[in-house]
Structure 1
Amino acid sequence: MDDHELQTQTQKQQSQTLQLPLAAAGRRDMARIAILLAAAAVLCLMSSYHSSLPFQSLQVLNFSAIGPPDTHEGRELERILRDASTENKTVIITTLNKAWAEPNSMFDLFLESFRVGQGTHHLLRHVVVVCLDATAFSRCSEVHDRRRCYFLRTTGTDFSGEKLFMSQDYLRMMWRRIDFLASVLQLGYNFLFTDADIVWLRDPFTRLDANADFQIASDFFNGDSNSVRNAVNGGFTFVRANNRTIEFYKFWYSSRQMFPGKHDQDVFNKIKLGPYIEKIGIKMRFLDTVYFGGFCQPSRDMNRVCTMHANCCIGQANKVKDLRQVLEDWRVYLSGHRREMRWRSPENCRRSMKK
């Protein structure tokens, strides 16, 4: 008998030996073995997942913000987006709740900035305000074009009050926003999302990368717009509607399950380093604070600044005071005092971060 025949016979004997105990076992034993094998497989997968974070294996969930496009909510949103969009299907989106809609408060400053900014007034016709409660919708309808106000109804959560950073309602509101923005992409619209605590001083579209899929502001910019090591801020993002960005938003929203208790920005910082981003092929850019500044890292050049964000700040009252000061400084700058003009320090916000 040659070596090949000997090896074949040995394998048959081993197979028969393995089959004997299984054949002898009853159905109950077979079920126990199956359960044990399945449990072992799950444990192995979980161990592998947590050690290497293979994000591409995370289940992607369906969105629930507006439902299918043929629902009443879907048709209403699509109508508003269509009426507000530019020729290339781009809209500006912000969110609003009762707390920020109070007269002489955040929303009024936001709208005022478009009116006093350079080349920004015409952009108001493209601003869609996503209202999170009935009071916000009523206020939006009074001071903005009612046709640009969309009431995003949510069951089980009250979004009307001021939401403190990292509170449970704050987290729900942030993830609701990601869910909604994903729906906008699925409807085929590009969007520039802006928090309402951002004042617009110049047209920001002139400073965006025409070749990027996803562009996001930075709390602190490291000098490299391609670097994923920039400290991002999700309060200002420009996203083009395509298969890559739709898949990314699905992935981003689903990833919250892996990081419970984290808001969208923290989860973004986790997944931006993962292999799935490369697999999607999405082109990301991180915005320079020279043009897109904030209280974390203010733009020092008033000749180039486009937006200023009340980031690195806790409390609506502090944000309102220091943003009002920004607009005051901006008016002085526009009056002709351009060479010597500098932003005053946002002291209310700085004190709020030290408490």
Structure 2
Amino acid sequence: MLRSLFPSAGNAFSDFASAAADMPSEKTLFLRRSVAAFCFFAAILFVYNSVRFFADTSVTNPVGFFPVPDGLSSQVSEESRLEKVLNDAATEDKTIIITTLNDAWATPNSIFDLFLESFRIGLHTRRLLDHLVVVALDDKAYRRCLSLHLHCYALLTEGIDFSKEAYFMTPDYLKMMWRRIDFLRSVLEMGYNFVFTDADVMWFRDPFPRFFPEADFQIACDHFSGNSSTMHNRPNGGFNYVKSNNRSIEFYKFWYSSQENYPGYHDQDVLNFIKHDPYITEMGLTVRFLDTAYFGGLCEPSKDLNEVCTMHANCCYGINSKLHDLKIMLQDWKLFMSLPLSLKRSQAYTWRVPMNCSLSAFHPAKIPAESDEEENEN
């Protein structure tokens, strides 16, 4: 076979064999040993250089054969992972709903469970779960999210443990709030509109019909003045709807950087400081404040259950107090939904909360307490 493929090589080998046969036996043996030794060392050298070449390229050039700056590969991978989660959850116009979650709020029978339940029992809100992205701030919260929900993203911060309850205005609380603002800025830069909602906001109706179509940034309030355009409203950062454009991106950059001018304050306080800043007018940002009649909270509850979209456990400190009042809030909603239409429209029913979240020991209630029997989930 070798002769037919390489005839010249075959002839050379034949000539060499004939010459060797004419030599004395000792010279033939020496020649054969020399050739064998040469081939052996040549093979070792070839294998060594080959292994060294491929090892070097695999370490120094992990993508193709071009050098990659330190950290760029992991950053690209992280952005790709976030892009996939956002894209899977987004509506046709690239809008998503975002909440953040840590282990303290994600444990079984805690706030996260109530949050998801509100979507399931609200009016036209169950379908919105398909567009909800849960951003987990620690590993336990991420695993808990994966067991209950489809769109989960782990936003872990090196050197910081966000798993425990972050008490109001503690250093961990402030870090968590500002980490959230920076993350939301990155979502806007990726071209996604979002509704951000704290997990202690209960969703009872689809809020989108109540949003202002012309606004870049609209936010719920602890106190609503009656005018959606005035800066004299008291905004609450736990619920807002933001459209992705150059104005909103610049606003979030400005908001985040303003913490340097107001050290020790959280994002909501800083927003109250900067909302009058002329730079916001210069950037052309359209701001609207959401009426508490539709987007209420324990600070200023929505009075009419026929109109309410969301209710926030704001003006309340401590996870146990929040849990107590949120459970009652969900009970009130279930009972309201079970009433005949005529009674619903009578506007004679309102919330029994705040209770544990209130400084008052008693809060008048117009909705009677439910029986101990668990209602069937809608």
Question: TM-score range with shorter-chain normalisation?
Answer: 0.7 to 0.9
Q: Normalising by the residue count of structure 2, what TM-score does the alignment of the two structures yield? A: 0.74
Residue 116 of structure 2, aligned match among 111, 114, 118: 111
The residue number in structure 1 matching 2:96 is: 91
The DSSP-based 3-state class of the residue aligned with 1:347 is: coil
Quote how far apart the aligned CAs of 1:278 are. Answer: 0.7
Matched, 1:218 2:221: yes
Match of 2:355 in 1: 347
1:76 aligns with 2:81: yes
Aligned mate of 1:265, from 258, 265, 268: 268
Give structure 1 stretches of 5+ with no counterpart: 1-65
- 2:153 aligned to 150, 155, 170, which one? 150
Matches within 5 A, 1:200-211: 200-211=203-214
Residue 179 (structure 1) aligns with: 182
2:295/2:308 contact within 8 Å kept: yes
C-alpha distance in structure 2 between counterparts of 1:68 and 1:245, whole Å? 28
Residue 342 (structure 1) shift: 1.5
Shift of residue 67 of structure 1? 8.3
2:140 — aligned with what?
A: 135
Q: 1:157 to 1:67 in 2, by over 3 A?
A: farther
Match of residue 299 from structure 1: 302
Q: CA RMSD in A?
A: 1.6
Q: Which runs of 5+ in 2 are unaligned?
A: 1-70, 362-378
User: How big is each residue's C-alpha offset from its partner over 1:26-45, in whole Å with a ceiling of 9 and x where there is no partner?
Assistant: xxxxxxxxxxxxxxxxxxxx
Q: Is the 8 A contact 2:304 2:349 kept in 1?
A: no
Q: CA deviation digits over 1:81-125, x for unaligned, max 9?
A: 011000000000000000000101100000000000000000000
> Which structure is higher in RCO with an 8 Å CA cutoff and minimum separation 6?
1
Query: Percent of pairs identical after alignment?
Result: 58
Give 2:218's aligned amino acid: Q
Q: Which protein is bigger by CA-based radius of gyration?
A: 2
Equivalent in 192, 197, 204 of residue 194 of structure 1:
197
2:111 touches 2:323 (CA, 8 Å); kept in 1? yes
Which of 278, 282, 288 in structure 2 is aligned with 1:279?
A: 282
Secondary structure (helix, strand or coil) at the match of 1:129 reads: strand
What does the per-residue CA deviation read over 1:196-250, in whole Å, with 9 as the maximum and x for residues that have no partner?
A: 0000000001100000000000000000000111011000010000000000001
Residues 220 and 231 in structure 1, CA contact (< 8 A), matched pair in contact too: yes
The structure-2 alpha-carbon separation of the partners of 1:352 and 1:183, relative to structure 1 and needing over 3 Å to count, comes to: farther
Equivalent residues of 1:313, 1:352 under 8 A apart: no
Amino acid in the other structure paired with 2:157: T
Report the alpha carbon displacement of residue 345 of structure 1 after superposing the two structures with TM.
2.8
Which secondary structure does the structure 1 equivalent of 2:358 belong to? Answer: helix
Residue 17 of structure 2 is matched in structure 1 by none
Give distance in 1, aligned partners of 2:74 and 2:251: 20
1-structure distance, mates of 2:302, 2:75 = 44
Match of 1:123 in 2: 128
